[in-house]
Structure 1
Amino acid sequence: MDPYSYQYISANPQLANFIRYNPIWYRYLSRDPHRLMEMEKEAKKFYGKTFPQRIEKISSNIQMVGMLMQFADAMKD
Structure 2
Amino acid sequence: MHPQCYEYLKSNPQLARFVRLNPMWYRYLSREPSMLTHIDKEAKRFYGKTFPQRVEKLNNQVQMLEMLIQFAGAMKD
Q: TM-score, normalised by structure 2?
A: 0.97
Aligned residues, how many?
77
Question: What amino acid is the match of 1:36?
Answer: L
DSSP-derived class of the 2:60 partner = helix
Matches within 5 A, 1:34-45: 34-45=34-45
Q: Which runs of 5+ in 2 are unaligned?
A: none
Residue type at the aligned position of 2:37? M
1:67 paired residue number = 67
Partner residue of 1:7?
A: 7
Deviations 1:6-60 (A, max 9, x none): 0010111100100000001000001100000101110101000000000000000
- Tell me which residue corresponds to 1:48: 48
TM-score (norm: length of structure 1): 0.97
Cα RMSD for the two superposed structures: 0.5
Whole-Å Cα distance in 2 between the matches of residues 40 and 22 of structure 1?
Answer: 13
Letter in 1 for 2:21: Y
Q: Which amino acid aligns with 1:42?
A: E
Describe the SS at the equivalent of 1:49. Answer: coil
Runs of 4+ in 1 over 2 A off after TM superposition: none
Question: Matched residues in 2 for 1:16 and 1:42: separation?
Answer: 13
